[in-house]
Chains A and B, each alone.
Chain A
Amino acid sequence: MKRRIAKDTLTGWSMKAAVLFANLLVFLVALGLLYKARPILASKSLGHLLTSLSWHPLKGEFGFYPFIVGTVEATLLSMVLAVPMCLLAAIYLAEYAPRRLRESAHIVIDLMAGIPSVIYGLFGIIVVVPIVREIGLALGKQNTGYTLLSGGVILAIMVAPVIISVTMEVLRSVPAEARETALALGITRWAAIKHVVLRHSMHGVLSAIVLGFARAFGETIAVMMVIGNVARIPRSLFDPAYPLPALIANNYGEMMSVPLYDSALMLAALILLLVVGGFHLVAHIILYRIEKRW
């Protein structure tokens, strides 16, 4: 008996240690990146780094502004393209679709979420880039097709599974009574959805969008394959852009040979971690609250 209890206590402690590790991991990652980013933070102020336009590693100038603008614009563009469609699709699946369609849609959406980003990128190169190029030329804009718009379109496809599945879950968690009460007043289903269901689940839907935003913000490979990667602020949809994750991924080869370069890239990774982590924190706290409420 004693041995059994000893075994239980021992495994109990090691399991708790594993839990502690999981909790500390975020901080560990942040601290590791901060440690490497310190040299550049010591030589320039953070404000200067974030707002400077000039990116010339060989001259020791590391201005992140074009990359931050590139990331934010590509992400916002993908949101504009994806959010209305995803919300409509999710409302249909959660409120109108017969059970069989909903279940098979679940499988399709899981599948979509599981497709590697490099394959989305390849799809972008084969299909999206030529189409965007033609559209741009038709509008009288000289472009290569590797543009902000292509990046936005690919990101929009990639965030769709996140937004749809979270929205569906949130909508399904609205109690049937709320719907039925509204329907008993003799209004249409859409009116009930608009006035009751969506109002009930507004915070949840917002979290779904935030999660999609965070996913797009940190996406690396697929975007960098189609967005052109030119470190200038894009003036139109048909200009290339250069998002922050692509900056890290593109320059790992030379970063060790230029002073402060590795430090700058680690700072970029830290910024990504903090922004995306912050969004996730907020969204998940809201979603937990909803789960508990219903």
Chain B
Amino acid sequence: MRRQIIEEKIFKALMIASLATVFLALLAIIAIIVARGAKAMSIDMIIKTPEGGYYLGKGGGVANAIVGSLMLTGGASIISLALALPIAFALQREYIPRRIARVTRLALDVLWGTPSIVYGAFGFVIMVYLGIGASLLGGIIALSLLMLPIMTRAMEEIIRMVPMQLKEISYSLGTTRLETTFSVVLRQALPGVCTAAMLAFGRGIGDAASILFTAGYTDYIPHSLLDPAASLPLAVFFQIATPLPAVQDRAYASALILLLVVLLVNLVARLLSARFSRNIIK
């Protein structure tokens, strides 16, 4: 018995040490990006596009990447939402048999796990097929493929939680599936749906591998869907690869902007979900 107790103590110490290490790693990442980024941060970084000689350390900022990222991820969010919502609703029992729903869930889980570079490569195949070059449109296509499974799966989890009795009450009034879905299920699941959309947005805006060769990179703000678009993750990636310390500092500043955007999106998602849950019948 004493041996058991000693063993437990040892393992408990190991567990706490492991947990502390994981937390510390996160803390270290945030602290270092904030510290390095804040030093190089300036208002010019946010509101200006790169000026002549920017990559040699001269004036300008990454407004092109900020706007580009928002356009890419915003566009991709709209496309994913337009597909994810119907899929998530269709996975209810009223629409398709449970077996098919289970297979679909599995397919979505596999898609969720697919590396983003694969979506980038596939996006490239589509672009070659359509005959377009690296562009905002190409990036949006690749990103929406990446975001679709994340969004759908998260929404579906929430929609599945809507109690059957609630739906049955609505059906007993003689409503169709569509009416019940929109006036009962959607209202009930709205906070979850918003959270899911934000979650996918946060993933999309931080992803670099899928847009690396679909969206390209440019110093300008895109004016049409067929213009190439810059993005924050790639701004970090390209600037850190240069040998000039002044430009590398800007990579840290860009990373800080990206990190803040992602954290903000996460925070807003949580707040939204708390605010909307007032209308929920438990």
A-to-B contact residues, CB < 8 Å: 4-5, 7-8, 11-12, 14-16, 18-19, 21-23, 25-26, 29, 32-33, 35-36, 84-86, 88-89, 91-93, 96, 105, 108, 110-112, 114-123, 125-127, 157, 160, 164, 187-191, 211, 214-215, 217-221, 225, 245, 248-249, 252-253, 265-266, 269, 272-273, 276-277, 279-281, 284-285, 288
Could you give, for residues 118-150 of chain B, a 1 whenever the CB lies within 8 Å of some chain A CB and a 0 otherwise?
111110111010000000000000000100110
List chain A residues, Cβ under 8 A from B25: 157, 160
Interface positions, chain B 102-125, Cβ under 8 Å from A, are 102-122, 124-125
Docked-complex contact B12 and A281, CB < 8 angstroms: no
Residues in B with CB closer than 8 Å to A164 are 22
12 contacts between A and B (CB under 8 A): A19-B96, A21-B87, A22-B111, A116-B233, A118-B233, A118-B234, A119-B33, A119-B236, A245-B209, A249-B212, A252-B212, A280-B109
Question: Which residues of B sit under 8 angstroms from A29, Cβ to Cβ?
Answer: 114, 118-119, 122, 145
**Beta-carbon contact of A88 and B95 below 8 Å:** no
Q: Is the interface of B mostly helix, strand, loop or mixed?
A: helix
Question: Known pairs A157-B29, A190-B12, A273-B118. 5 more at Cβ < 8 A?
Answer: A85-B22, A88-B15, A96-B12, A157-B25, A221-B209
Confirm or deny: B207 has a beta carbon within 8 angstroms of a beta carbon on chain A.
yes
In Å, the complex CA distance between A220 and B202 comes to: 18
Pick out which of these stretches binds chain A: B39-47, B161-169, B172-180, B271-279.
Answer: B172-180
Contact across chains for B22 and A86 when beta carbons are under 8 A apart: yes
Instruction: Select A25's contact among B32, B111, B236, beta carbons within 8 Å.
Output: B111
CB-CB nearest in chain B for A8: B176
| Cβ A11 vs Cβ B178 within 8 A | yes
> Are A273 and B114 touching (Cβ within 8 A)?
yes
B29 touches A123 (CB 8 A): yes
Q: Taking chain A's interface residues, is the majority helix, strand, or loop, or is none over half, making it mixed?
A: helix
Closest residue of B by beta carbon distance from A279? B113
Alpha-carbon distance between A114 and B199 when the two chains are bound, in angstroms: 8
Whether A248 contacts B19 by the Cβ 8 Å rule is: no
Q: Are A190 and B263 in contact (CB under 8 A)?
A: no
Chain A residue nearest to B90 (CB atoms) is A15
* Chain B, 18-32, CB within 8 A of any chain A CB: 18-19, 21-23, 25-26, 28-29, 32
